[in-house]
Structure 1
Amino acid sequence: MKKIIIISLVILGLAAGAGLGVLIWWLVRSDSPYETILLEGNLGAVRSTAAFTRIHGHGDMFWWFYPSVASSPMSRPVLLWLHGVTGIASSYLANFGMFGPYDANFDRRHDSWVNDYNLLFVDAPLGTGFSSSNWQNTSNTDFPGLDENADHLLRTLQSFYDIHGEYKNAPLYVCSQGDGSQLALALTIKLNEDNSFKDRFKGIILGNPVISPALALTKLGFYLEELGYVDAAGREAIENFSNVTSLLVESEQFQEAFLKFTFLGKYINENTGAVAVNLAHIVEKLYRSSLDSDYFGVKSYLDSLYPTDTHINNFMDTVGRAILHVPDTVRYDGQRELATNAFMETYMKPIVDKVEHILSNSDVTVNIYNGNLDAVSNTPGQLEWVNRLSWPGQAQFLSSPRETLVFNRLIEGYFRESNRLRFYWLNVAGQLAPIDNPIGIRRILNRITNN
């Protein structure tokens, strides 16, 4: 049945494209370091704009924008959503997998965020999703890393507003999940330095962020022992793993630390007595043979939610390509390994200083939420760095009461809020928090955006 749906949609997409005209409309700005390549195509009844921002000499950044279906969408917040190098690109995971207007079976998602917000999904960094780099060297050293991708994201936002200038007065929030927080923080600093974004840029939203991964890892043994997944010996094994990782970070052996850290799921399941634990969603029941094969278990968890015989990359290379008329020369996630290698030197570096810089040198709000079922970015480990932040408003934040997040009398989580820094504990949610607790996330977004 699923194959029939996919084939039918491909045919419909191609037919619709034929009616709209040939592939691409070019918007060329000779005085600009970038140009925008609009893709002709749409998905169902919900309007959208998809495009490549071509950064001259570097590559093409793909973005997909859904205007809110609410009344007066130009007054609604624009949520720019980012993932990172160890996850799944935004054009699939956030869009089809979590809160876009349609799910992976092309059923209309009635609780989609597009009901209240404008959604801007960007495949970043270059090399992930439909975004690609011009890199052609024989060495990985020149593939764009964190700082370069932050520059490219800034150009991409400028490109988006070139096309959709009607949203220039809408509040802008940079949002991320997991290690997408590294890109989100780097972009936030650049946006804060660019006066053209000053009035519209309101805040950064970090979901289960990877900010100080080695520090968060120091609490993993305690976390898993308290939940009963390991015993005292298992906790000791995890703490030994954590100590070695921390020493690698302290000695600035960041590549070695990254390789060890991404081995975490396999190590837990083979050396601590846990046997079958999905670190992305700790309460998922697994078969004994269901070991973590995709870094931290996000893909396997997503497969359990949306079972299909079509691989994500194949899905986007066929169905997604047909819907939007993406050129055949672009292969979905075709440079993922190169992009991951380019981030090895920065991934494990603590970036708490970037959070402190934003809090101390801007007016934007820093909003953090953490699902209590995510073992990698476990909440006790997150609070290790959050409670130690150094900025003028830290005392106010720490003295703010911890309050309850309630909807229809059910407790969805907790929160501590100050004027600039806010932390949200989210119940019954793992790394894919928008899927696990959509009501709680919506309440958090309402509080952050006053929407």
Structure 2
Amino acid sequence: MELAPRSSPVSRWLLLLLLLGLSTGGPGGSSTGFGNFEEIGPLDSHLKPRKTTWLQAASLLFVDNPVGTGFSYVNKSNAYAKDLATVASDMMVLLKTFFSCHKEFQTVPFYIFSESYGGKMAAGIGLELYKAIQQGTIKCNFSGVALGDSWISPVDSVLSWGPYLYSMSLLEDKGLAEVSNIAEQVLDAVNKGFYTEATQLWGKAETIIEKNADGVNFYNILTKSDPTSAMESSLEFTQSHLVRLFQRHVRHLQGDALSQLMNGPIRKKLKIIPEDISWGAQSSSVFLNMEGDFMKPVISIVDELLEAGVNVTIYNGQLDLIVDTIGQEAWVRKLQWPELPKFNELKWKPLYSDPESPETSAFVKSYKNLAFYWILRAGHMVPSDQGAMALKMMRLVTQQE
């Protein structure tokens, strides 16, 4: 856990919890590493000041979750989380301790921002936090969750991959047919509750796409994926599909430069990391243990948050494939929230990150406690691709603009 506080008086602070997941986490990727130094922290991976850091507008709490992610570690193999319920339960322990020890933050507006698999975690954690506050076991001013390119309904993403790539001239008819066929197999497995099988088929679907779209990057379709390197022998994998999935969705978040930074200067700065623990060393085990959770949808949890009156913001990068916007819109249409028809009736509004430029940066639609941001010219990691727009969106979500 890392806390970067603003220097302004506490009464003016906001507190943002950043959770990263599938494409900024795997699960197994680190928000204290990638989220901090590659996306929104005060310094970039070269330790140079970031002009679009979210620290301009809020205090930032980076947490590596599930346990085993980043500098977080376990001493027993049975301590890894295997499902969302455990991930949320672990976070409740942390948040209860945090707000008990830092009473100055109890009345500060507290938002949970997330990305990818972290979005699934944020939904589950947000609901458990709401319940804990109602029960009086945690005291904090919980003000909302933001789900960025989030793995809320994996099958809706998989089903939309083919049509999205086809519309962008990255698949032709035969390729579309192959992708659609495997997507239907994923859907069938999910409908039957065969989530481990669905995970295997998800990996197969990605491989089919890479072959047909000449190595398209799942995180930004305008770029190509780096060639996948061989798995290090230290990673205890036996299932080849998990090897490919881990390499595709986690290893790129732990590049040599970032790893050297975290295990070098940052480790020395923290002064609390045990000698036998390295940043990211347990990420493969985190990923492996969550296999049965990958393809489970959590649309119902988002519904519960909305029904409880919790502010829910959804935002998505236009160029993202792994969690493409079409798939996000599909699961939003499945919400049972009574106010959804009125939300759907609204027209979106354009947003501009630069007030002096006529170039549209995003669109937004908002009704009561639900908002959706369509972020243009951004892939999966919105703050990395469109830092100024991401910062503006955060200010809008937290009612600073």
TM-score range, shorter chain: 0.7 to 0.9
Contact 1:135–1:143 under 8 Å retained in 2: no
RMSD (Å) for aligned C-alpha atoms? 2.3
CA contact (8 A) 1:372 1:379 kept: yes
Structure 2 match to 1:72: 9
Deviation at 1:334, TM superposition (A): 2.7
Residue identity matched to 1:235: L
Rounded Cα–Cα distance in structure 2 between residues aligned with 1:445 and 1:298: 25
Between the aligned partners of 1:179 and 1:215, the Cα distance in structure 2 is 14
2:111 to 155, 168, 173: 173
1:359 to 306, 331, 334: 306
Q: Is 1:387 aligned to 2:333, yes or no?
A: yes
Which structure has greater helix proportion?
2
Aligned residue identity for 2:327: G
Q: 1:31 is matched with which residue?
A: none
DSSP-derived class of the 2:305 partner: helix
Deviation at 1:285, TM superposition (A): 4.5
8 Å CA contact 1:145, 1:339 repeated in 2: no
Task: State which of 3, 16, 26 in structure 2 corresponds to 1:86.
Answer: 26
Alpha-carbon deviation of 1:357?
A: 1.1
Report the alpha carbon displacement of residue 210 of structure 1 after superposing the two structures with TM: 0.3
Aligned to 1:343: 290
Determine helix, strand or coil for the equivalent of 1:228.
Answer: coil
Q: CA deviation at 1:92?
A: 0.6
Residues 310-367 of structure 1 show CA distances to partners (whole Å, capped at 9, x for unaligned) of 354444223321121122132322322222222222220111111111111x221010
Change (3 A) 1:353 1:341: same
Equivalent residue number for residue 236 of structure 2 = none
| Change beyond 3 A, Cα 1:204–1:213 | same
Q: Which residue of 2 aligns with 1:448?
A: 397
1:100 deviates by 0.4
Once the two structures are TM-superposed, the CA of residue 267 in structure 1 deviates from its matched residue by 2.6
Structure number with the bigger relative contact order (C-alpha 8 A, sep ≥ 6) is 2
AA in 2 matched with 1:147: A
Residues 427 and 215 of structure 1, relative CA distance in 2, 3 Å threshold: same
What residue in structure 2 maps to residue 398 of structure 1? 344
2:143 corresponds to which residue?
202
SS in 2 for 1:91: helix
1:255 aligned to 178, 185, 196, which one? 196
CA distance in 1, matches of 2:93, 2:336: 31
Quote the Cα distance in structure 1 between the aligned partners of 2:323 and 2:81. Answer: 27
Structure 2 portions without partners, runs of 5+: 230-243
Q: Max radius of gyration: which structure?
A: 1
Which is worse superposed, 395-404 or 119-128?
395-404
2: CA distance between counterparts of 1:246 and 1:311?
Answer: 39
Distance 1:149 1:135 in 2: 16
Task: Evaluate the alpha carbon distance shift between residue 132 and residue 199 of structure 1 in structure 2; reply closer, same or farther with a 3 A threshold.
Answer: closer
Tell me what 1:243 maps to.
184
Aligned residue identity for 2:399 = N
Residue by residue over 1:14-62, the C-alpha shift from the partner in whole angstroms, topping out at 9 and shown as x without a partner, is xxxxxxxxxxxxxxxxxxxxxxxxxxxxxxxxxxxxxxxxxxxxxxxxx
In structure 1, the partner of 2:274 is 327
Cα 1:249/1:446, change in 2 over 3 Å: same
The 3 A distance-change label for structure 1 pair 267 and 319 is farther
Aligned equivalent of 1:375, options 321, 326, 331: 321
Question: % of aligned pairs identical?
Answer: 27
Equivalent residue, structure 2, for 1:164: 102
Partner of 1:188: 126
Once the two structures are superposed, residues 68-96 of structure 1 have per-residue CA deviations (whole angstroms, 9 ceiling, x without a partner) of 24x32442211101112515210111111
- For 1:286 and 1:213, locate their aligned partners in 2 and report how far apart those are by CA, in whole Å: 21
Q: Which amino acid aligns with 2:17?
A: L
The 1:293–1:390 alpha-carbon spacing in structure 2 relative to 1, beyond 3 Å, is closer
CA contact (8 A) 1:369 1:426 kept: yes
Counterpart-to-counterpart distance in 2, 1:204 and 1:339: 24
TM-score, with length taken from structure 1: 0.78
Corresponding residue for 2:218?
279
Contact 2:364 2:372 in 1 (8 A): yes
Equivalent residue of 1:428, what SS? coil
Match of 2:107, as an amino acid?
Answer: N
What is the CA deviation profile of residues 133-156 of structure 1, one whole-angstrom value per residue up to 9, with x for unaligned ones? 24245xx9x755321221111111
- 1:246-297 Cα distance to aligned partner (Å, 9 max, x none): 1111121111211332344433122x2x11210111111567x579875546
Equivalent runs, 1:123-138 vs 2, <5 Å: 123-137=64-78
Deviations 1:390-417 (A, max 9, x none): 1121122112221111232321111110
Q: Does structure 1 conserve the Cα–Cα contact (< 8 Å) formed by 2:106 and 2:140? A: no
Question: Is the 1:79–1:120 contact (alpha carbons within 8 Å) kept by the matching residues of 2?
Answer: yes
Number of the residue aligned with 1:122: 63
Structure 1 partner of 2:88: 150
For residues 115 and 298 of structure 1, what CA distance do their matches in structure 2 show?
A: 29
Give the TM-score, by structure 2 length: 0.87
SS at match of 2:129: helix
More off after superposition, 370-379 vs 155-164: 155-164
Shift of 1:384: 0.6
Shift of 1:237: 1.1
Shift in Å, 1:448: 1.0
